[in-house]
Chains A and B, each alone.
Chain A
Amino acid sequence: MEHAKDIELIEWAAGRLDAEREEVVRAHVRTCAVCQAKLAEVRATWELLGAWEVPVPQGLDLVKVQASPDRPARMSQARTIRAIDTRVLLRIAASIGVSALVGYTAGRWSIGSDRASALPQPPSYLSVLGLEVGESFSPLVLDEEMPAVEGG
């Protein structure tokens, strides 16, 4: 008698065995004590693994997207992406510097000096995760004109 494959018992316990295969396995397990015992252990292991839950902090906001202050009516609505970790910022600083120079020259990019000089409040999730805001916290604020969207 050919027993059910271990991987099929695992997938059945996970609820991911395709219907046709499940029917075949179910019919076999019904008559096979060895596979019944094995399935029971697979299911028990599956349930036990469910005890490890990972509670994600409420209010987590990894990417802050904010509208910039009011722009002159003739300009498109702007959006801001704030990178909130200096270590990440360092990786893109070189490319941003080149882009800012080119963009500023072309009149497409601007880094608002008044916004850059006033440090915003750190994201609330930092305290939730027990992280402290050190001197290295320095968000990068890019003002990007949103191009006209075709067809909404």
Chain B
Amino acid sequence: MTDEQASDAELMVRLRRGDTAALGTLALRHQARVISLAYRLLGDWHRAEDVAQETFLRVHEAATKYTPQAKFTTWLYRVVYNLSIDHQRKSRSDPASLEAVEVEPQELPASVSVEKSELAQLVRNAVAELPDRQRVVVVLHRYEGLSHSEICEVTGWSCSAVESLLVRAYENLRKSLLKYRDFAP
């Protein structure tokens, strides 16, 4: 079976045996979601790239101990989430507080209409303005497609806490965004 056909768990087993090409396959397969998650959490491409690279270094390091118990992507998201939080704490020099990220303007391709790009910026700002934990669950739920239980596994929060955060987050976003509903894609 080629690397491309192998499952994530199989690739990790190969990596554990020293097949570093398996790491390349895992990276190609998951780097887009890793960097987009880090970017949505941190709001900055440079830091997202740092987190993404560090994530795959962690994958490489963890391979020696890896046992396929949980879904690989859930574990991968957990690594990205933890690294993003660490990154955020270091950049703010405030280990106790998780505050809303500062949003840098995102450059969209020229083919995107002005209206669409403005709406994207409004949505981005609305998500960035959420309290940190609400932002995390919305990003994981809406943009990464994770289920409740997966969000609980990634964050380590109780499922009741995740539910409560999702309800409040979507309510806050509803208040921020529904005035723009006529411009929805």
* Residues of B contacting A6 in the complex (Cβ-Cβ under 8 angstroms): 167, 170-171
Knowing A45-B174, A54-B36, A129-B49, the reply to whether A149 touches B19 (Cβ < 8 A) is: yes
Interface size on B, residues (CB 8 A): 56
B120 touches A62 (CB 8 A): no
Whether A51 and B23, one on each chain, are in contact in the complex, defined by CB atoms closer than 8 angstroms, is: no
Residues of A in contact, count (CB < 8 Å):
44
The verdict on A48 contacting B177 (CB below 8 Å), with A14-B141, A144-B20 known, is yes
From A27-35, A79-87, A98-106, A110-118, the one touching the partner chain is A79-87
Smallest CB separation, A94 vs chain B (Å): 14
Q: Pick the contact of A55 from B57, B108, B127 — CB < 8 Å?
A: B108
A41 at the interface (CB under 8 A from B): yes
Per DSSP, chain B at the interface is helix
Chain A residues with CB under 8 Å of chain B are 6-7, 10-11, 14, 16, 41-42, 44-56, 60-65, 79-81, 83-85, 87-88, 92, 129-131, 144, 146-147, 149-150
Q: Which of B36, B56, B108, B141 interacts with A62 by CB under 8 Å?
A: B56
Question: Contact between B178 and A41 (Cβ–Cβ < 8 Å)?
Answer: yes
CA distance A65 to B116 in the complex (A): 38
A-B contacts, 17 of them at CB < 8 A, read A6-B171, A7-B163, A14-B141, A42-B174, A45-B170, A48-B184, A49-B123, A51-B119, A56-B32, A62-B31, A62-B52, A65-B20, A79-B19, A83-B53, A85-B53, A129-B45, A146-B19
Interface residues of B (CB under 8 A from A): 14, 17-21, 23-24, 27-28, 31-32, 34-36, 39-40, 45-46, 49-50, 52-54, 56-57, 60, 108-109, 116, 119-120, 122-124, 127, 138, 141-143, 147-148, 163, 166-167, 170-171, 173-174, 177-178, 180-181, 183-185
